[in-house]
Amino acid sequence: MANYIRTSKKVAKNASKQLRSKRTTKAEKSVAGSALRNRSK
């Protein structure tokens, strides 16, 4: 996987906020979930 990019800590923090928010649309939650999946283990 040459093009594997990991999500930064700052972006992951914002993504988890988006997932918990009631005002976030389904599409935004999908993007936020993808960002968290790319976080290093």
Going from the C-alpha of 35 to that of each of 7, 26, the distances in angstroms are 6, 14
pLDDT in tens, 8-37: 999 999 999 999 999 999 999 999 999 988
pLDDT at 39 (0 to 100): 84
pLDDT exceeds cutoff 80 at 1: no
Band (pLDDT 50/70/90 cuts) for residue 2 is low
Q: What is the pTM of this model?
A: 0.72
Q: Residue 2: exposed, middle, or buried by beta-carbon count in 10 A (0-12, 13-18, 19+)?
A: exposed
Domain that residue 9 falls in? 1-41
Helices (H) and strands (E) in the chain, counts: 2, 0
Q: How many domains does the chain have?
A: 1
